[in-house]
Structure 1
Amino acid sequence: MCLIACAYRCHPDYPLILAGNRDEFHGRPTADAAPWPDAPQVVGGRDLEAGGSWLALSGRGRLAAVTNVRRMAQPLPGAPSRGALVADFVRGEARAADAAVALLDRAPAYAGFNLLLWDGDTLEYVSNRPTPRHTTLPPGVYGLSNDALDTPWPKLLRLRAAMQAVADGKRHIDTLFTALADPRPAADAEMPNTGVGAPMERLLSSPFIRDARYGTRASTVVTVPAHGAARLVERRFGPEGRPLGESTLEAPQ
């Protein structure tokens, strides 16, 4: 994924609410969010090129989501898939904190990533840029894009504000899709400088990216209630933001 906001233990009905956009080349083969044939207890999208996922959850109360880090050196040839970090966690049984600690030793082998791990009890943040580290997050509202947690990029601030309004009971959860669909770029003076050049920075600065080759492929909202099944709603898009469909799934219990 490229943009995430989450409300962790600050909504009266949902211990975890997560909303995010996955931005990717439109030509990269992808499976829609669905139960996984090789792990029926897991629901989420699949990257058919590398085999991993950007966001998935399981009926065992587990969720993982990953973003890349744009400001980074070129990865080594043969670097493992960052999407496998998501797939391995939701299919596994390790506690989020234990999985986070275990990942630190091998984190340098991956291209830059940010990873959120939820096991129904704790929410862990793991990153390998600039150095491997992990944090057990306290209750709160967080934003994550292609830099460190809560780096104040304009699109992150917009989505995090929308999530805060939901957590405070001022907006309905469905309004998160409105925030995810925001196509407005950041003002030039507010854009980050991640080394991709001003035209690309401008394209990437909006929460929702419309382009013929690269853009927002999926917008997803996940709600994890205090009791009952977690719910995932995915809206999919093609080149220039053309709607392709929507799926609503519940994690098997």
Structure 2
Amino acid sequence: MCIVALAWRAHPRWQLVLIGNRDEYHARPAAAMARWDDRPGLIAGRDLQSGGTWLGTDTAGRAAVITNLRGYGDPRPDRASRGALVTDLLAGTGAYADLHSPTLDDFNPFNLLLAEHDRLLFLTNRPAPQCSRLAPGLYGLSNGPLDQPWPKTLALKEAMLQWLVAGAADPEDLFDALRSETLPATGIAPATPSDAPLEPPLSPIFIRNPVYGTRCSSILAIAPDGTGLALERRFNAQGEVTGDSRIPFVWPAA
């Protein structure tokens, strides 16, 4: 996942609204967002190469999204899959289910946002393992530090802000913002290149590229009473829609 905007306790209808695009090589196999048979309660897409996920929720009351973090050299292939971290945190079981585990250094550099009933946490393992509680508000995340003002991050946060200010209630409207191919004119360019050689140094929110580009757009919206909606829209190498998922769910009462 390469671009995320998240509104935490900033909307009268939704306690959490999380939107993001996953940019990846089109050749890397993935399964659509769905309920997992082998992890009851987990709702997410699935990376079929490493087995984990990049964004999802669990009906026990957790939602999470992860991005790669640039600026610390090339990723090491012997490291654990970052998708396993998301999967274990959501399910609450597995080697990486403990938020404060020193095993966070097992992974290549990452940023992770984890929402629960009463808190939003930011985790990273560079320059050192960190777990911080975030205040209510609007956040943006790409492949740099949290809220670093890259042009595409500012553009997606602005689109989310406009949706919030307008008092809109249907999170599906945010798919339009995730489909933007306009190259933003403001912001600070990334200081280091992407791990993916084909990703342009400055890219729009939606990347259309026959080899490496936006694979899916995802939306999670969760109300204070625990009722939630998970949405995903998938794309082929030409940027054409290939499928949609719409999964209602309920978190238990806090």
Question: Scaled by the length of structure 2, what TM-score is found?
Answer: 0.89
Counterpart of 1:123 (choices 120, 123, 138) is 120
Instruction: Provide the secondary structure at the position in 2 that maps to 1:106.
Output: helix
Q: 1:70-97 CA distances to partner (integer Å, 9 max, x unpaired)?
A: 3221233410000011100111179xxx
Could you say which residue in structure 1 is the equivalent of 2:208? 210
1:186 to partner: Cα distance: 4.1
Q: Give the total of aligned pairs.
A: 247
Letter in 2 for 1:209: I
Matched, 1:33 2:33: yes
Could you tell me how far apart the structure 1 residues matched to 2:53 and 2:89 are?
11
2-side partners of 1:20 and 1:130: how far apart? 24
Tell me which residue corresponds to 1:237. Answer: 235
Determine if contact 1:185/1:202 at 8 Å carries over to the other structure: no
Verify the 8 A CA contact 1:2 1:68 in the aligned structure 2.
Answer: yes
1:94-147: CA deviations, max 9, x gaps? Answer: 9xxx94323xx2222211100111121211000112222121001000000001
Structure 2 unaligned segments of length 5 or more: list them.
none
How many Å apart are 1:195 and its aligned residue? Answer: 3.1
Structure 2 SS opposite 1:117: strand
Matched with 1:73 is: 73
- 1:157 and 2:127 correspond: no
SS at match of 1:115: strand
- Contact 1:57-1:251 within 8 A present in 2 as well: no
The separation in 1 between residues aligned to 2:57 and 2:152, in whole angstroms, is 25
**Matched residue type, 1:130:** P
Question: Which amino acid in the other structure matches residue 90 of structure 1?
Answer: L
* Partner-residue secondary structure (3-state), 1:212: coil
Amino acid corresponding to residue 179 of structure 1 in structure 2: A
Mean Cα deviation higher: 237-246 or 158-167: 158-167
The one-character-per-residue Cα deviations of 1:42-75 (angstroms, maximum 9, x if unpaired) are: 1110001001000110111111110011322123
CA RMSD of aligned residues (A): 2.3
Write out per-residue CA displacement over residues 144-200 of structure 1, whole angstroms, 9 at most, x where no aligned residue: 000110000010001111112223334453332111101123459953231359x95
Asked whether the equivalents of residues 199 and 213 of structure 2 are also in contact (C-alpha less than 8 Å), the reply is: no
Distance 1:205 1:82, change over 3 A: same
What's the secondary structure of 1:192's corresponding residue?
coil
Q: Which residue of 2 aligns with 1:50?
A: 50
* Residues 1:228 and 1:123: Cα distance change in structure 2 (over 3 Å): closer
Structure 1 unaligned runs (5+)?
A: none
- SS in structure 1 at match of 2:192: coil
Shift in alpha-carbon separation, 1:186–1:79, aligned structure 2, 3 A:
same
Percent of aligned positions that are identical? 41
Q: How does the TM-score come out when normalised to structure 1? A: 0.89
CA contact (8 A) 1:15 1:224 kept: yes
- Given that 2:226 and 2:250 are in contact with CA atoms closer than 8 Å, whether structure 1 keeps it comes out as no
What is the match of residue 166 of structure 2? 169
Distance 1:119 1:177 in 2: 24
CA distance in 2, matches of 1:64, 1:73: 25
Residue 140 to residue 99, structure 1, CA distance change in 2 (3 Å): farther
Query: In 1, Cα distance between the equivalents of 2:153 and 2:98?
Result: 26
